[in-house]
């Protein structure tokens, strides 16, 4: 069973965007470990459901009031959030010269400000309890860069500064804040890429394969475990070596 250093009971875990892909795999790992797991998603549909054992809560990370209401629902059901995984994210790729303000700000609002909104809301009870684990899902692209991904890359790089600032602000309160930087992972987000681009990306990955959602989930589970109590402000790459050195 997953426990925090000061808690032997199952924890209240919140994962944003757990109705598919990486978030889903993360939620499944915490459920398997015996934790009380909730997910914030915009609109889970019958074909796109959160995993068994996860409390699905409707919410939009782009809307502060919606985040607040979702947290209140999670707290009523599971107690204060002890482990927060800010996973919800989108892409709106496009070449710099043609990228609209809206494509830039929408990605920033979801990936970066969205993470800020949930971390801010979770931090109140974490500070009070002097305990908490925060994991932000960024991307190899945040530090490596990506042509056609000015918006996405900026949003993911911003998460690194955010985690490190949280670490400096709240590190003395028993709270850790880390970034996981996935490489290319086989999910809906990447399945739509053109085949020639996929072949090019694969050739650049030293491990010689795409990552799985569970590759990321295992790392998140570790960062939330007692074994990772002294790891904070870190950027943990899970990318088959794609971004090494960055």
| Contact flag: residue 21 with ligand NDP (CB under 6 A) | yes
Q: Which residues sit opposite 180 in a β-bridge?
A: 137, 236
| Contact flag: residue 185 with ligand NDP (CB under 6 A) | yes
Closest CB to ligand NDP among residues 137, 143: 137
Q: Among residues 13, 31, 55, 88, which is the contact residue for ligand NDP, using CB under 6 A? A: 88
Q: Which of 144, 152, 201, 230 is catalytic?
A: 152
| Contact flag: residue 234 with ligand NDP (CB under 6 A) | no
Please give the structure tokens belonging to residue 68: 């607040």
The reply to whether 152 belongs to the active site is yes
| Contact flag: residue 187 with ligand NDP (CB under 6 A) | yes
Q: Among residues 182, 237, 240, 243, which is the contact residue for ligand NDP, using CB under 6 A? A: 182
Q: Write out the binding residues for ligand NDP, residues 24-53 only, by CB under 6 A.
A: 40-43
Closest CB to ligand NDP among residues 8, 191: 191
Which chain residues interact with ligand NDP by CB under 6 A? 16-17, 19-23, 40-43, 60-62, 87-90, 110, 114, 137, 139, 182, 184-185, 187-190
């Amino acid at each position: 069973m997953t426990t925090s250093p000061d808690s032997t009971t199952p924890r209240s875990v919140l994962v944003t965007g757990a109705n598919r892909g990486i978030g889903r795999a993360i939620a499944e790992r915490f459920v398997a470990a015996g934790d009380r797991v909730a997910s914030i998603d915009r609109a889970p549909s019958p074909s796109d459901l959160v995993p068994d054992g996860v409390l699905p809560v409707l919410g939009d990370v782009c809307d502060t009031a919606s985040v607040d209401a979702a947290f209140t629902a999670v707290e009523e059901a599971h107690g204060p959030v002890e482990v927060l995984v800010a996973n919800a994210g989108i892409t709106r790729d496009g070449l710099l010269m043609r990228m609209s303000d809206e494509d830039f700000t929408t990605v920033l609002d979801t990936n970066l400000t969205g993470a800020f909104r949930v971390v801010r809301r979770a931090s109140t009870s974490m500070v009070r309890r002097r305990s908490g684990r925060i994991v932000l899902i960024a991307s190899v692209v945040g530090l490596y860069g990506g042509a056609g991904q000015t918006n996405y890359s900026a949003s993911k790089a911003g998460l690194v500064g955010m985690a490190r600032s949280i670490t400096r602000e709240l590190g003395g309160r028993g709270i850790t804040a880390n970034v996981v930087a996935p490489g290319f992972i086989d999910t809906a987000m990447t399945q739509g890429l053109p085949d020639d681009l996929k072949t090019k990306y694969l050739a650049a990955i030293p491990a010689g394969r795409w990552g799985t959602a569970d590759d990321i989930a295992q790392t998140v589970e570790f960062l939330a475990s007692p074994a990772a109590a002294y790891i904070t402000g870190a950027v943990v790459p899970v990318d088959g070596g794609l971004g090494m050195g960055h």
